Structure 1
Amino acid sequence: MKLVATDLDGTLVRNDRTVSPRTIAVFRRLHDSDVVIVLVTGRPIRWIFPVYSQLGIPALAICANGAATYDPGTDTIVHSAPLEADILAEVCTRLRAEVPGVVFAVERDGGRQMRHEPDFPVGPWEADHESVGPAPLEEILTRPAAKLLVRAGVQSPDEFTARVGACLTGLAEATNSSSSGMVEVSAAGVTKASALALVARTHAVDAAEVIAFGDMPNDLPMLTWAGRGVAMANGHPAVRAAASDVTKHSNEDDGVAEYLERVFGF
């Protein structure tokens, strides 16, 4: 395998948001062996710096489910595929007509900035973040967005994602990556797989030479595209069923590190 791609939350990162010493050691060995490493996450750019500080390697990061590819060495977005403003407006119009009580937020500039409707619930860790703030929907719709975040009270994540996806068929992609009932909407054709395929081509790596790890529905396109798509032992049932392999251990117990040690003979 020439390229290792990994999701972060529920996969590489433990539930306390740390990366284990064993995992750090494995990824530094891969980096020193010239294996291409790509972090592939639903996280916005502003959420990935703690992972970089722990790993200590300048891996590319595909953020916002494929909408932005970030190079930490130059602090630049090297590829972007946002929801354009007109499409964003149509998505919100459809959903507001279809889903009672729906509220929206957008990740902009790859997730360097977030704007949300006043009633959209924001995590306590971001309530006072300088790049996060409330705005009326009219202002939210004025610019392209890396992704749209959709909530409507308490919802079953899979059922709500299916409902949103059906409403947006042909217009945008809908997925989820948590148990909170929030749906993440990207531009049509934009997934973790589409962005990872572009990175792989840049490095002259075929899909067959890629091993990818993930745990949630937003990882499914990447895991089915990669030559070896590996689901986490703690992964969503649909992800475990679709993957070509499953780790022996969860993200809490170095599942990715243990698997890579076996594959690369560390």
Structure 2
Amino acid sequence: MKAIITDLDRTLLRTDKSISEYTCAVLKKCHDRGMPLMAATARPERAVLTYRSQVGFDALTTLNGARIILPSGVLENGIAPRSAEAILRRVVDIPDVALSMETGEGAFSNKPIPEWNFRAFEGFPALPTESTIYKILLSHEGETIQPEVERALTPDTYMTVAEGKLIQVMSTAATKWNGIRAMLEAAGIHNREAIYFGDDYDDIEAIKNCGTGVAVSNAIAEALAAADIVAQSNDMDGVAHYIEKNLL
């Protein structure tokens, strides 16, 4: 394998969102041997800066592929403004919906979320900014709203559900796999020469298409079924143990 690519939450990160000293040491050995380290995550760039400095990732796919940070620059796959407005008009009146949006100017929400640095915006379904719309996020404390959100999608958007409750709407061009392909192409590495570690639905395509696809043992059943190999759980530093045993 010429490149290591990993998801962050519930894969490389422990449940408390930390990276162990052991994992950092193993990844440093990979870096020292000239093996590119890449991450693919649903998190925005601002939420991975600490991990980037700890690990020294060479490239990042953030926001499920809506924003890709390469050594040579940034690629963006945002939702078309017309599509974003159409979706917002259809979902804004769902009772008690928590609605937020990741944009090039930061995150906006119909309810203030200071711990996530989301700014309150009362103007939905109008767009809060003219900058790139990366992702629309919806959640509900009561009954599921997935069918209503699915009906609101436009032909150029799709949705995923994270941890069974957070609905994420993105451009069809914004997928982890598209981001991974862009990172590998920039590095001159074929996808069959890369190993991928993941745990959730949005990791399955990469698990299937990379040369080696690894699911941590705490992954969802569908990711475990798609994987070539199952590593130890995220809380047992499964990614690092697999790398140390098989790649170093």
How high is the TM-score relative to the length of structure 2? Answer: 0.89
Q: Distance in 1 between matches of 2:147 and 2:30?
A: 38
C-alpha contact 2:87 2:154 (8 A) present in aligned 1: no
Deviation (angstroms), 1:93: 2.8
Q: Distance in 1 between matches of 2:174 and 2:127?
A: 24
- Structure 2 gap ranges (5+): none
Look up the match of 1:258. 241
Decide which moves more: 43-52 or 217-226. 217-226
Look up the match of 1:206. 190
C-alpha contact 1:231 1:246 (8 A) present in aligned 2: yes
CA deviations over 1:142-194 (Å, ceiling 9, x no partner): 543111111233356xxx55764465263312113324x11111101320000
C-alpha contact 2:92 2:99 (8 A) present in aligned 1: no
Q: Distance in 2 between matches of 1:257 and 1:116?
A: 36
Distance change (3 Å), C-alpha of 1:212 and 1:155: farther
Question: Sequence identity of aligned pairs in percent?
Answer: 26
Count of aligned pairs: 246
C-alpha contact 1:88 1:141 (8 A) present in aligned 2: no
**What is the alpha-carbon root mean square deviation over aligned residues?**
2.3
Task: Please list, as runs of the form range in 1=range in 2, the aligned pairs for 1:1-266 lying within 5 A after superposition.
Answer: 1-55=1-55, 57-71=56-70, 78-96=74-92, 100-109=95-104, 113-118=106-111, 122=113, 125-126=115-116, 129=117, 132-135=118-121, 136-137=123-124, 138-140=126-128, 142-154=130-142, 164-165=149-150, 167-168=152-153, 170-179=155-164, 181-247=165-231, 249-264=232-247, 266=248
Q: Distance in 2 between matches of 1:139 and 1:192?
A: 25
Q: Distance in 2 between matches of 1:100 and 1:235?
A: 32
Q: Quick one: which amino acid aligns to residue 66 of structure 1?
A: G
Distance change (3 Å), C-alpha of 1:105 and 1:22: same
Higher relative contact order (CA 8 A, sep 6+): 2
Q: SS of the residue aligned with 1:35?
A: coil
Q: SS of the residue aligned with 1:11?
A: helix
C-alpha contact 2:85 2:127 (8 A) present in aligned 1: no
Decide which moves more: 13-22 or 162-171. 162-171
Q: Distance in 2 between matches of 1:165 and 1:27?
A: 39
Q: Quick one: which amino acid aligns to residue 173 of structure 1?
A: Y
Q: Distance in 2 between matches of 1:149 and 1:24?
A: 31
